[in-house]
Structure 1
Amino acid sequence: MSSGRIRSEIKPGMEVDIVLKKDQPTGKLTRGVVKDILTKSPTHPHGIKVRLTDGQVGRVQRIFLRDDLKP
């Protein structure tokens, strides 16, 4: 699992956990699949901002690799 602070580690189609702006105070995570990468800089200390396939926007906190998803 990766932390989501490095843009080059995130690709459309990856499953990630993001924190939505409204959930920043609580740290509640939302899981989804990356549609678009919105952050232009190569790194961001609070996580790369992405848009999920369902339209929600937030900063990546975790990236799930295929091996991470196995039961």
Structure 2
Amino acid sequence: MIGNERKNIRPGLKVKVIQKQHQRTGQLTEGVVKDILTKSPFHNRGIKVRLDNGIIGRVQEVID
């Protein structure tokens, strides 16, 4: 599942995010969503979240 729509993201989901400093390389970080930071229902680069380990990034993929 792609992380562009806020309705697909909820706390406790396991996701892969891209951090701001890794946008050029495309390096993804895996973690569990703690907070959803994007207020709008859709964002073309991914919904911004805070993971349970404190990392902030935009969701690229939701892991089932």
TM class, shorter-chain normalised? over 0.9
Extract unaligned runs of 5+ from structure 1. Answer: 66-71
Report the count of equivalent residues.
64
- Per residue, is there more helix in 1 or in 2? 1
Amino acid at match of 2:49: V
Which has the larger Rg? 1
Q: Which residue pairs with 1:37 in the alignment?
A: 36
TM-superposed CA distance for 1:41, in Å, is 0.2
Extract unaligned runs of 5+ from structure 2. Answer: none
What is the identity percentage for the equivalent residue pairs of Structure 1 and Structure 2? 55
Q: How does 1:11-50 map to 2 (within 5 A)?
A: 11-50=10-49
Amino acid at match of 2:10: K
CA distance in 1 between counterparts of 2:24 and 2:57 reads: 13
After TM superposition, the runs of 4+ consecutive aligned structure 1 residues lying more than 3 A away are none
Q: Which residue pairs with 1:3 in the alignment?
A: 2
SS at 2:59 equivalent: strand
Q: TM-score, with normalisation over the residues of structure 2?
A: 0.98
Q: TM-score, with normalisation over the residues of structure 1?
A: 0.89
